[in-house]
Structure 1
Amino acid sequence: MPDALEATPYDALLLLSFGGPEGPDDVVPFLENVTRGRGIPKERLKEVGQHYFLFGGVSPINDQNRALLDALRKDFADHGLDLPVYWGNRNWAPYLTDTLRDMVRDGRRRILVLATSAYASYSGCRQYRENLADSLAALEAEGLDLPKIDKLRHYFNHPGFLEPMIEGVLQSLASLPEDVRDGAHIAFTTHSIPNSAADTSGPVEEHGDGGAYVRQHLDVAQLIADAVRERTGVDHSWQLVYQSRSGAPHIPWLEPDICDHLEERHAAGVPAVVMAPIGFVSDHMEVLYDLDTEAKAKAEELGLPVRRSATVGADPRFTAAIRDLVLERAAVERGQGVTPCALGALGPSHHLCPVGCCPARAPRPAAAGADSPYA
């Protein structure tokens, strides 16, 4: 990267995330936001919300985003990068439209977006781009001058994202009893999505069984498993598995589920399992409930020792990676040659989502891509 920490032409970074309730009274309204347009009855949402009520109606995701926001601001300041960082959510306060309105009123004209999803998929990329388009349309209707918005590339294979996860798996293995440690299996977990959404994830030329979503996760799992072998001398068995399914039973979703996988590995004689949630940037509700509560209960039922490794959260290596990605994209926009930082077989992701990338079931405008209506 260039010696000078130059973010021009960008004048702000927007941390864009999912959002979550911050108290019991927020749970159903939050879920109404998440499921808007699907016609789900309020009583059903109360049932779904039981996961949140177990934790006092509070999702940890907002505090984790506050921590990441503070860490990014500190990292930028410590390295002389003069770039303000804002935060907006898809489904809860601070809402994206309100944050973008504040950014426009603060005079921000070129905005980079960091989504808290590292991989290609409709829900992890294009839907955020649709949210951006919706917010820009709302600001346009208010008569505000619209900023130009770009999105940082997928960072699943950036070393600053990978290294904290490698360290987390190593620490989890080290915490297992010595007599089961070397035989431990690693279950790399991510959010299950419909097979159809996986198959169409990523650029059109990458579509196929599992699409870019599965390919990228497999690449990350292989990188972590290789690093663990190199640092411990032990070749642990591993598999990519899924969690947090929420769709109708008749629609095929990615499998196997983590709890089913624990049963299968236990029956096969595996002495212990490390669950590594590589699909999640932070320890939000899917991690706390589906892994720390449900999957650990299944393991206890089986008498199977398990550990759950940490997500990257606000790790300094991750914030440094974001700084690197910001400088990389800024240099590209200035027409300078850069060598993007990426490990593994897939190489760096595209800077601009191409037409047809991670398509929606019903076409909707999406900003910050080749098909954006807001150039």
Structure 2
Amino acid sequence: MTLPPLAASSRTVPATTYDAILLAGFGGPEGQDDVIPYLRNVTRGRGIPDERLEEVAHHYRHFGGISPINDQNRELKAALEAEIEQRGLGLPVYWGNRFWAPYFADALKELHADGHRKVLVLVTTSFSSYSGCRAYREDLATALAETGLEGELELDKVRQYFDHPGFVNPNVDAVRGGLATLREQGLLEGAHVMFATHSIPTAAADVSGPREALPSGEEVPTGGENEWYAGGGWYVAQQRAVAALVMDRVADEFPDVPWSLVFQSRSGSPEIPWLEPDINDAIEKLDDAVKGLVISPIGFVSDHMEVAWDLDNEAVESCEERGIVPVRVPTVGVDPQYVAGLIDLVEERHVAPGGTPREREALTDLGPWQDVCPTDCCLGRAAKATIASC
């Protein structure tokens, strides 16, 4: 029997009452001695020698071996706790990482020891892809098995929130602020906005998100013609939709500013096609009329290592070589709108007995996104080639 196609918004589950929240992060090294062990964790099972890892490690060495991501998640955890207290939800927040302490397994053992049994998971990624969603689910399942807590702890993950107001609005404010900076410098007439996100293998991009259908019922594309990338899937579609929405929102003050979606932080075998254009290649190809560039890290939720290195160092250098003034605007970080938006997502799923769940919000036609992923969603066949630098 062939089931009819479903829009992502059809895959919702009833709200219930949870005991606690788990903030799920990527993790990062916190000292020089941590760098190679951390990169071994990220690349475990891929047979990558330490010599190759050291090529990535120099990014961390440049910053004393410390990725900012853990401190940023500590700040986010504190901000979430404050928002939860203000709303009177009474949910404690725990924190665990995929690749560095505190690990998922440690967080799950702590949750269980403290008497919690039903946990709602907030993941620090907003877009649909293997590495941004399914890998977190798989690693949490592995941690449950390794700790012997299967059947003891129930973990549910909130939906991807790429087009939730709490994510979109801070990015609108950031781009508006970046363009205002160029205007102050007399560079608005020659302005361009680049939305930067993590590159992934094109094969992984093609199978990102559910395979069933677009919200219209049309088939999900897996091919096409583009100067840089012939492919489909939800990862690129979601990012283009949000970037277009941001530019539409700033058009009242800054109309007709050209923009593009670019990629960064490519890694892995050079024989494997990845999403392009790389931001540095895209900067090199900008028209000579471009004098000011707003760089928006739309694909990230915090100013971690890839933002600090790939954008604040490499992309800025590429701009300087072209005589272009760069303005790198912030990620959502702990912006109060983002923090409130994450707790809005919690309140979609968590209600006191007899309560009413919060209405689901989405600012594009693609959402609100699904609570439950089908088995063919964000297949990871090519994603495991990644060496991340968070």
TM-score when scaled to structure 2?
0.87
Partner of 1:355: 375
2:174 maps to which of 155, 168, 171: 168
**Alignment partners' CA distance in 2, 1:219 and 1:144:** 38
**Alignment partners' CA distance in 1, 2:289 and 2:210:** 40
Q: How does 1:271-310 map to 2 (within 5 A)?
A: 271-310=291-330
Letter in 1 for 2:202: N
1:95 maps to which of 96, 103, 115: 103
Letter in 2 for 1:198: A
1:246 maps to which of 263, 267, 282: 267
Partner of 1:157: 163
Partner of 1:210: 232
**Alignment partners' CA distance in 2, 1:171 and 1:204:** 37
The Cα of 1:329 is off from its aligned counterpart by 1.4
Partner of 2:152: 146
Distance change in 2, residues 1:363/1:293 (3 Å): closer
Q: How does 1:117-156 map to 2 (within 5 A)?
A: 117-140=125-148, 146-156=152-162
Distance change in 2, residues 1:114/1:357 (3 Å): same
Letter in 2 for 1:153: R
2:188 maps to which of 181, 187, 204: 181
Q: What secondary structure, in the 3-state scheme, does the structure 2 residue paired with 1:119 have?
A: coil
**Alignment partners' CA distance in 2, 1:80 and 1:336:** 15
TM-score when scaled to structure 1?
0.90
Partner of 2:38: 30
Q: What secondary structure, in the 3-state scheme, does the structure 2 residue paired with 1:204 have?
A: coil
Q: What secondary structure, in the 3-state scheme, does the structure 2 residue paired with 1:15 have?
A: strand
Query: Given the alignment of the two structures, is residue 195 of structure 1 paired with residue 202 of structure 2, yes or no?
Result: yes
Query: Given the alignment of the two structures, is residue 53 of structure 1 paired with residue 61 of structure 2, yes or no?
Result: yes
Kept after mapping to 1: 8 A contact 2:344/2:358: no
Partner of 1:312: 332
Query: Given the alignment of the two structures, is residue 9 of structure 1 paired with residue 30 of structure 2, yes or no?
Result: no
Distance change in 2, residues 1:63/1:314 (3 Å): same
Partner of 1:20: 28
Partner of 1:372: none
The Cα of 1:81 is off from its aligned counterpart by 1.3
Distance change in 2, residues 1:227/1:332 (3 Å): farther
Query: Given the alignment of the two structures, is residue 323 of structure 1 paired with residue 330 of structure 2, yes or no?
Result: no
Partner of 2:217: none
Partner of 2:276: 255
**Alignment partners' CA distance in 1, 2:175 and 2:382:** 39
**Alignment partners' CA distance in 2, 1:54 and 1:363:** 27
Kept after mapping to 2: 8 A contact 1:201/1:212: yes
Partner of 2:387: none
**Alignment partners' CA distance in 2, 1:251 and 1:333:** 51
The Cα of 1:247 is off from its aligned counterpart by 1.9
Kept after mapping to 2: 8 A contact 1:332/1:338: no
Letter in 2 for 1:345: D
1:237 maps to which of 258, 261, 268: 258
Q: What secondary structure, in the 3-state scheme, does the structure 2 residue paired with 1:352 have?
A: coil
CA RMSD of aligned residues (A): 2.1
**Alignment partners' CA distance in 1, 2:31 and 2:357:** 48
Q: What secondary structure, in the 3-state scheme, does the structure 1 residue paired with 2:34 have?
A: helix
Distance change in 2, residues 1:22/1:337 (3 Å): closer
2:248 maps to which of 226, 231, 245: 226
Please list the CA deviations of residues 312-335 of structure 1 after superposition, one character each: whole Å capped at 9, or x if unmatched: 001111111111111111259989
Q: What secondary structure, in the 3-state scheme, does the structure 2 residue paired with 1:82 have?
A: coil
Please list the CA deviations of residues 244-294 of structure 1 after superposition, one character each: whole Å capped at 9, or x if unmatched: 0002111110000100111111x4422211111100000001100000000
The Cα of 1:220 is off from its aligned counterpart by 0.6
Report sequence identity in percent.
53
Distance change in 2, residues 1:332/1:295 (3 Å): farther
| Count of residue pairs the alignment pairs up | 354
Q: What secondary structure, in the 3-state scheme, does the structure 1 residue paired with 2:71 have?
A: helix
Kept after mapping to 2: 8 A contact 1:157/1:348: yes
**Alignment partners' CA distance in 2, 1:289 and 1:307:** 15
Letter in 2 for 1:124: G
The Cα of 1:183 is off from its aligned counterpart by 3.0
Please list the CA deviations of residues 287-306 of structure 1 after superposition, one character each: whole Å capped at 9, or x if unmatched: 00000000001111111111
**Alignment partners' CA distance in 2, 1:145 and 1:363:** 29
Kept after mapping to 1: 8 A contact 2:144/2:150: no
Kept after mapping to 2: 8 A contact 1:162/1:220: yes
**Alignment partners' CA distance in 2, 1:112 and 1:81:** 13
Partner of 2:93: 85
Q: What secondary structure, in the 3-state scheme, does the structure 1 residue paired with 2:187 have?
A: helix
